[in-house]
A = this chain, B = another copy of it.
Amino acid sequence: MGISERKEREREDMQRLILNAARKLFLENGVEKTSIRAIADAIEYSPATIYLYFKDKNEIFYALHELAFLTLAEHFRPVSLIKDPFAQLVELGHLYIQWAVENPGLYELCFLMESPMEALACRDESWEHGKNSFGLLMHIIEGCMAAGYFKQHDPESAALTVWSYIHGLVTIFLRGRMKLFDDDRDIERIKASYSLFIKMVQHGL
């Protein structure tokens, strides 16, 4: 029965073809301009064909969102080379900010868009890749706690607090709310705030 296996393989090939085109268009032209028709044009199939391989547009965004998390995890790899847990935390935050600023489209996909979450809503397997990245943060925070940081608090709250800060910072930037300030030295402002935050964590033992 090698024939149904070939069919399955062809199906996965087609899904990959769609996702590659979608990712390319997505990164080139942004979220808004990535329509089903544009994806269909890119792979030279009709728009209706895409619906034979993905339930709806949300599912495509969900799949891309999984890919984006893989590249984020890849970006985080260097932290494992660092030994001191606090230095790990500092570097993790730095890499997070860097990735967000350099890949606004992917950041949007991972943490800002509602579509991938809607696709996830009707699914039993939940947000695996997101969990892994948050797990890494929690692991590092547990290390920090063993070294005396974040004392008398649960690691989950500490991790959420750190993530909230960094996520908020990059979101304020990405969504143009730094227009609030008179000049536009946004990146410097981000750096100044981040070093303040790190010192706050440090001073609180």
Q: Please tell me how many copies of the chain the complex holds.
A: 2
The CA-CA distance from A58 to B106 in the complex, in Å, is: 24
Interface bin, chain A:
35 or more
Are B117 and A157 within 8 A (Cβ)? no
Return chain B residues, CB-CB under 8 Å to A52: none
A103 to chain B, nearest CB (A): 17
Q: Judge whether A127 is part of the interface by a CB distance below 8 angstroms.
A: yes
8 tightest A-B CB contacts, nearest first: A168-B168, A164-B168, A203-B204, A164-B169, A167-B168, A117-B176, A165-B165, A157-B192
Chain A interface residues (CB < 8 Å from chain B): 111-114, 117, 120, 126-127, 130-131, 134, 150, 153-154, 156-158, 160-161, 163-169, 171-172, 175-177, 179-181, 189, 192-193, 196-197, 199-201, 203-205
